[in-house]
Structure 1
């Protein structure tokens, strides 16, 4: 009995030591393991030296009893950290109206954190209320609740309480309330109103859901898991090798670190995953007799007098059974076994060879159809820089985009879908996957590769390479994170308001890039589709010119490119090019002039109908204002008090000259770039000579049939005009 008692005590101590070791391994060595009731798990930690990244840093506030942990950069209380799910539970404020409490200040998440759209629900409580989810001034969701005080139950299905899902990748949220009655009285305050994001699992287990009305905060779930196959957390520098999983781990399909089978612990610590001793841990092995632990697994064996009966069991050995065989029997059995293996493996090998040949044949077919031969011809006749353009394999780009995961989509348009991806060397890229298209459009695709491969300018989007062995061609660009200039001009942006100084700087950078293309490139390039949606802003909000699918290279001694098919975008289209089919450098100048007017007025090239008869063309509206000396009346209200009056007029006069209907009277892009640079450097005291051109050309020709900027439909007796959903026109001149 004494021996059994000692063994039992040793077993209990062993389990306690194992549990303690597991708890210790969750936090970084030498760092706090708990803050109050919260178990701290690395990559989170109290202090910068205890966390994997500054965005995951916590501080433990000991003024509470027990102490409470807060995210140091978001000032949110942390209730729970989950390494397996890649989430944390925090306390989030309730938005109220018509109560004695003030409306809670909205929370804007920073770092890698977003509200989990699978774990949270947007919830509203009120009477005959429409609660709307708002972000950046736009309503994009909500729910409606109706009054019924006699049927107040603990469900939230639309009576006194309603719920709805939230969109993915949400970093901040606001809510507004409207009456759901016959009269839409937004200011009605007959009943109290509450709106909040809440952990749906916590909410549905409440005994009384209306107890939330007495609270100021409720639990919500945040995603913190990194994107990019466990290579990044928070704001880690992706240019270095930043693989964050420890030893004995693997990366899951959700980009989370996890211990491999046979190991347990914290997979984010260097040695956090420790071997499980299945032999010492009760119920962790299936051995019938003897268990021997191995790294990540275990082996079973039998005691003397017994022999294996399968992988785990044993049976008593028969002393009368003889196991000796003759040499002939052994040879026969070996030959039989080898023949059996060959009969099984041979069909599998043949099937694999046939499948590989079909795949190679299909890739070759795609390569030829997607313009591989055309690219080779262009390479042999172009600058040798084209040869440095990398041809990516389909497997490389599938891995970079997580098999074209919908969560990686950056944008979609008529030409295709753009995905965010990460190459094996850690570079973040944008992968453009074209829509299924006919072979007539392949030339545009190859043309963009050849053009961008010959350009090396800081304000032109860089092309890393392409992939031609897939069903649709793929282009790989540098990743430009901050969207298009069109969005910043025409959409309200709280994070980065477009001031006058920034507008002048962006215009100067784009003009410099176009001047380089026209005059400094080894082979002059005409862009042919200058518009604000083709101007991107990088991480430092520097301008990057993009989309060279319709661009043309010309020899130095040429003055224009003649095209049978006229292409362009409504509002930016050069009228002289439309009439003559001859695209010159001054056609790019005209389109750039429209961008300058956008920056001045904040209006779109195709405007909404106006009370006075100026049509819907921004150019017509601007020219009329310049002729009538009422420039200040059409300025964007966001810059009216921002720039100096003379500086604004100088900018407007430059745009006016760029929009001259006669291309020879427009300035060159080199002149435009120089004048903008002078305007920017001298803060309005420009030394550039200002002058007007004869405006009669505008008044005479604006009403002629070729003025097609007022609508997104068009036809002519001498042309066939096609218009796509992006207001891009293609005009075929009849022979």
Structure 2
């Protein structure tokens, strides 16, 4: 039986360690036929500074408990109740009364923000699954907790109870079973019967031969129901016992002529069906070939061939995949293989026949004008050879919607690592290296490549991370090749809100400084941990770029930095990168640095970071708090650091 209740103990503290709530709880089932099931219930405690006890203070029969502690909140795992954030233990048999109490080692002062309260309760072990969010305050307020209760008849064993025909509770066609949770017994219907074993004639015969019931008769055998059981037999003209695990039903030799007629007719029908199938398959195959040829031309296959012919080396890099290969690799493009969806298409994870893991991008349905964008992405990626740009392996043009096949990048996107609360934290050093690698790749696209390439959609969601957290720029669907003699070009505005260059948005003129602005937003994300569009209390969204620049102009840099990175690096690196982000976010493109200048400054900062001794690391302690109390000091230090580094050539100023 399931009993629903609000039985749990609670203990909460303030940030200074003062107890605000301290409630124990007890539950008494004495005098009833019910006991708390020892096999179905668990004693569970939740908290990061929690000592939980379960006892029987009236009779001092038992005391049990467990301890939960979170030395590092990053070690808390959903679904794990082994002592980090959650602990559990079993309860004794024949339990009718218990009390729950809670204690603490440090009054939750070490992790109050993440876990101000502890909870302890007895619950059905199949009901509760621990989640990180259970540690927050109020997570169990008004919660209804199911308990599994055992109940038995009397306090006698089956051997004793069956002797008293007046009090014995089990009816006909039932069996008696001794309780495993204390004294008493229970009744169950015998095999072949179902119903209520506690009433006269409550256990009724089951017709195992009806549809939906399991029986051991062979598929072609005849099932005959009997009282409490059933029999299997073979149909007329067959020999055997009809049991699946016995002798199967086999044809009686005397019925061979009839069997020959049946077999002959069956073979003729099969032959006719095979002929029809091959005829249909031939027509369908020719139709599929024509359809694939149509899609190949429709998806720009001829244009791609011209691009390959005009760019030596492309044919060696890009491979033309068949749709059959990609369906096998992605389990027919199953939803479980989806890695992400974006403005230019959906990406699936796949495994090729040679074991190589790839990412297959299916572009959104395109009109004829958008085919140029697709071929443009193939052409651009085929010409790029840089360790920080995702590598194109090939494409497929045999379907209505064209596909691209990339190398698989295993660690997700920079956006997920910064903004997903369940993702592992990345340090300032890793963030600085990712920014340096991304800037270097963009500088290569803008200046080192034979024909300048503008990405046009730089954002943290388009920066992938591999196993070593090496940055890989992805999604070139909106990119453009710019002839060397042109410094700017007029184009339709494309990109993502929060990252769009305001000057390009206003004039429609695209330059390499548009990518610089978008990269400045990414730097602001790395420094603050905030998204490109910030949701305010009124429900309106504000651009991170404006918020970041305004905060620096008002000497409020310290207040907006991500506290997790401020505590682990010296302030000079943070100040240099913050000022670099600010000048990248200048409204006028001519006031922004080039990506090459940005890459050089980040490379210098990264080199200094790698060479720093541990003693120079910047930790939030009493001295550091005093030094950083006046944010105007930060701005002055920033100007001084940038001047000393020779970065004044980028025309820093307001």
Same fold (TM over 0.5): yes
Deviation at 1:104, TM superposition (A): 6.2
Would the alpha carbon gap of residues 660 and 648 (structure 1) be closer, same or farther in structure 2, given more than 3 Å must change?
Answer: same
Residue number among 269, 280, 291 corresponding to 1:351 in the alignment? 280
User: Secondary structure of the equivalent of 2:558?
Assistant: helix
Residue number among 452, 457, 461 corresponding to 1:533 in the alignment? 461
Q: Which position in structure 1 is the counterpart of 2:531?
A: 604
Summarize deviations over 1:111-166 as a string: whole Å, max 9, x none. xx999xxxxxxxxx9xxxxxxxxxxxxxxxxxxxxx9xxxxxxxxxxxx8697799
2:461 pairs with 1:512:
no
Q: Which position in structure 1 is the counterpart of 2:553?
A: 627
User: CA–CA distance in 1 between the matches of 2:372 and 2:472?
Assistant: 23
Q: Which position in structure 1 is the counterpart of 2:45?
A: 96
Q: Which position in structure 2 is the counterpart of 1:488?
A: 417
User: CA–CA distance in 1 between the matches of 2:68 and 2:341?
Assistant: 36
User: Secondary structure of the equivalent of 1:638?
Assistant: helix
Q: Which position in structure 1 is the counterpart of 2:471?
A: 543
Q: Which position in structure 2 is the counterpart of 1:728?
A: none
User: CA–CA distance in 2 between the matches of 1:471 and 1:193?
Assistant: 53
User: CA–CA distance in 2 between the matches of 1:190 and 1:93?
Assistant: 17
Residue number among 496, 513, 517 corresponding to 1:586 in the alignment? 513
Q: Which position in structure 1 is the counterpart of 2:615?
A: none
User: CA–CA distance in 2 between the matches of 1:654 and 1:92?
Assistant: 58
Deviation at 1:383, TM superposition (A): 4.6
Q: Which position in structure 1 is the counterpart of 2:599?
A: 673
User: CA–CA distance in 2 between the matches of 1:562 and 1:175?
Assistant: 49
Deviation at 1:108, TM superposition (A): 12
From the CA coordinates, give the structure whose radius of gyration is larger: 2
Q: Which position in structure 1 is the counterpart of 2:393?
A: 464
Is the Cα contact below 8 Å between 1:431 and 1:477 reproduced in 2?
yes
Summarize deviations over 1:538-580 as a string: whole Å, max 9, x none. 11111110000000112233322321x1112211111222233
User: CA–CA distance in 2 between the matches of 1:356 and 1:681?
Assistant: 60
Residue number among 685, 688, 703 corresponding to 2:645 in the alignment? 688
2:618 pairs with 1:654:
no
Matches within 5 A, 1:379-398: 379-385=308-314, 388-398=317-327
Would the alpha carbon gap of residues 694 and 670 (structure 1) be closer, same or farther in structure 2, given more than 3 Å must change?
Answer: closer
TM-score when normalising by structure 1: 0.51
User: CA–CA distance in 2 between the matches of 1:538 and 1:567?
Assistant: 27
Deviation at 1:103, TM superposition (A): 5.8
Is the Cα contact below 8 Å between 1:287 and 1:312 reproduced in 2?
no
Q: Which position in structure 2 is the counterpart of 1:198?
A: none
2:134 pairs with 1:176:
yes
Matches within 5 A, 1:161-200: 176=134, 186=139
Q: Which position in structure 2 is the counterpart of 1:500?
A: 428
Deviation at 1:102, TM superposition (A): 2.7
Q: Which position in structure 2 is the counterpart of 1:617?
A: 543
User: CA–CA distance in 1 between the matches of 2:469 and 2:562?
Assistant: 20
Summarize deviations over 1:593-622 as a string: whole Å, max 9, x none. 1111111111112112279xx982222222
Deviation at 1:527, TM superposition (A): 0.6
5+ long unaligned stretches in structure 1: 1-90, 116-124, 126-146, 148-159, 167-171, 179-183, 196-206, 212-280, 290-305, 314-337, 697-735
User: CA–CA distance in 2 between the matches of 1:590 and 1:99?
Assistant: 58
Q: Which position in structure 2 is the counterpart of 1:121?
A: none
Deviation at 1:646, TM superposition (A): 1.6
Would the alpha carbon gap of residues 664 and 382 (structure 1) be closer, same or farther in structure 2, given more than 3 Å must change?
Answer: farther
Is the Cα contact below 8 Å between 2:42 and 2:124 reproduced in 1?
no
User: CA–CA distance in 2 between the matches of 1:500 and 1:579?
Assistant: 35
2:570 pairs with 1:644:
yes
Deviation at 1:354, TM superposition (A): 1.2
TM-score when normalising by structure 2: 0.57
Deviation at 1:283, TM superposition (A): 5.0
5+ long unaligned stretches in structure 2: 1-39, 47-51, 55-64, 82-90, 92-121, 149-176, 182-243, 261-266, 613-640
User: Secondary structure of the equivalent of 2:349?
Assistant: strand
User: CA–CA distance in 1 between the matches of 2:472 and 2:569?
Assistant: 24
Is the Cα contact below 8 Å between 1:94 and 1:194 reproduced in 2?
no
User: CA–CA distance in 2 between the matches of 1:457 and 1:506?
Assistant: 15
Is the Cα contact below 8 Å between 2:516 and 2:594 reproduced in 1?
yes
Is the Cα contact below 8 Å between 1:416 and 1:434 reproduced in 2?
yes
2:519 pairs with 1:561:
no
Deviation at 1:504, TM superposition (A): 0.6
Residue number among 356, 360, 382 corresponding to 2:289 in the alignment? 360
Would the alpha carbon gap of residues 103 and 513 (structure 1) be closer, same or farther in structure 2, given more than 3 Å must change?
Answer: same
Question: Between Structure 1 and Structure 2, how many residues are aligned?
Answer: 439
Q: Which position in structure 2 is the counterpart of 1:374?
A: 303
User: Secondary structure of the equivalent of 1:616?
Assistant: strand
Summarize deviations over 1:691-728 as a string: whole Å, max 9, x none. 374766xxxxxxxxxxxxxxxxxxxxxxxxxxxxxxxx
Q: Which position in structure 2 is the counterpart of 1:30?
A: none
Would the alpha carbon gap of residues 568 and 415 (structure 1) be closer, same or farther in structure 2, given more than 3 Å must change?
Answer: closer
Is the Cα contact below 8 Å between 1:99 and 1:192 reproduced in 2?
no
User: CA–CA distance in 2 between the matches of 1:533 and 1:597?
Assistant: 14
Is the Cα contact below 8 Å between 2:459 and 2:499 reproduced in 1?
yes
User: CA–CA distance in 2 between the matches of 1:607 and 1:392?
Assistant: 42
Q: Which position in structure 2 is the counterpart of 1:475?
A: 404
Would the alpha carbon gap of residues 689 and 103 (structure 1) be closer, same or farther in structure 2, given more than 3 Å must change?
Answer: same
Is the Cα contact below 8 Å between 1:401 and 1:421 reproduced in 2?
yes
Deviation at 1:282, TM superposition (A): 8.7
Would the alpha carbon gap of residues 679 and 396 (structure 1) be closer, same or farther in structure 2, given more than 3 Å must change?
Answer: same
User: CA–CA distance in 1 between the matches of 2:74 and 2:586?
Assistant: 47
